[in-house]
Amino acid sequence: FEELCEEMLADGIQPVVILDPGVMVDKNYEVFASGLKEEVYCTLPDGEPVRGLVWPGWVHYPDFTRQITREWWGKQYQSLIGMGVKGFWHDMNEPAAFAAFGEGTMPRVARHDLEGREGSHIEAHNVYGLMMDQAGFDAQRKFQPEKRPWLLTRSGWAGVQRYAWKWTGDVESTWSALKMTISTVLGLGISGISYAGSDIGGFSGNPDGELFTRWFQMSTLMAFFRSHAAIGAERREPWVFGEPYTSIIREFLLLRKKLMPYLYTLAFEARRTGAPLARPLFWSQPENRALWHVDDAYLLGNNVLVAPVVEQGAEVRSVSFPKGGWYHYWDDSYFPGDSSATVQAPLSQIPFFIKAGSILPTAEKDGIILQIYLPKEDGEFVSHHYADDGDGYGAYRVDTYHLKRTGDQVLIRRHTEGSYPPEPRMKLVLHGGSTQQIEADGEIVPFNGEAVILPSSEIIQFGLQ
């Protein structure tokens, strides 16, 4: 296993291991034996450890409602981190148990410490996954303090966003499940869980090329981005469906990479404000009742509107636009706010739109490009770009851009927070207008579709043709 981790790390892959709470009953298994010695397992009223049947066979369940148990559990992460593991995936932590009948969890009479108060599994069930996630998070902080903990969990409770990402679990590979994913992720977001998504193509079933591609497109524009399937499902690597699906999926992988500066900025915003990455359309316009029931589209941050295709064979879809103007990402066509329209949605595209007035940071081979989507009317707009080394707790940088349009004149002021060094230079690309030259800190820069500005530029202004 250590050699496998070394190979993955050498290829730039960050290994993540899956951990279930059930500990295999085997007196020769060191983890099991130490758990018996420390008396960390949940018990029945007669004092015997609870037994359940999960993937390893018969297991005992640690009592995560007890501080001593959480510390014991956390010690098990040290050796895995030492071998190169960079993240952890907590699964089956409802906790789950295979059962021919009745409830698929430990018995309701099982005893828990509940931080010294003591009680049954009736009380502890809902917080069991949360306490396991806390134990895993604290362990990562302890054994690799220079790195940010990375944890994915199937279960949790209120407050789980402090410790883990969340995915929607073992959903069906169907069009209805694809649509339901949107409302589920939005519900998680407004409940405080910023990082969420689903298994691409669903979990239980065999999606065809069209369903997998549409699911892949939607997931490209969400926080969680993973393909996964049940044991026994057909292979679903992105290349197994053949053309045209393989080429389309490849383009969306590249799109994900291109949009990473924006997604990373949203992660910073979630850290600072709690705002989720995926937001309901009424997020910035709660008074608009027409948007309250839209459950098949969402905002990615405040500046991107995503309208996934969730019906088989569909190549058009209706879109409701919140206030402000919106540019179609694929052709820069413009749609006014507080309106609706039917837009084209060929298999090669997912309809998504950029808000007028936004400055969207994107990544290209030669650095960062600031995509400037010009407002059609006078007004002031604010956008952000966050950057750092990608992990740890070192230097960071937040560039806040204030864009103001007055008639044909556009003025952009940049305010910087943090000490992380800026890009050596950045390009500007205009959408919705053109100019012949840009003035950056008083220096004239010719404009032929793209203008290069220096990192010291704090004031950029130009007139529109």
Whether residue 84 contacts residue 15, with contact meaning beta carbons closer than 8 Å, is answered with: yes
Is 389 annotated as catalytic?
Answer: no
Active-site annotation holder among 170, 172, 251, 439? 170
Strands 426-431 and 367-373, by their bridges, are: parallel
**Nearest of 66, 36, 65 to residue 51 by alpha carbon:** 36
Q: Is 94 a catalytic residue?
A: yes
> Is 170 known to be catalytic?
yes
Set 91, 269, 296, 399: catalytic member: 91
**Angstrom distance (rounded) from CA 370 to CA 322:** 23
CA-CA distance, 274 to 156, in Å (whole number)?
17
How far is CA 39 from its chain centroid? 37
Query: Prior bond to 446 cis, omega within 30?
Result: no
* Angle of CA points 430, 436, 439, to nearest 5°: 80
| Given 20, 63, 94, 269, the catalytic residue | 94
Are the beta carbons of 459 and 413 closer than 8 angstroms? Answer: yes
Angle between helices 121-143 and 67-75 (to 10 degrees): 40
Query: How far apart are alpha carbons 406 and 246 in whole angstroms?
Result: 46
Rounded CA gap, 129 and 97, in Å?
14
Whole-angstrom distance, CA of residue 377 vs CA of residue 408: 10
DSSP-assigned letter for residue 430: E
Rg of the chain in Å (alpha carbons): 25
Q: Are 43 and 121 in contact (CB under 8 A)?
A: no
Tell me the catalytic residues: 91, 94, 170
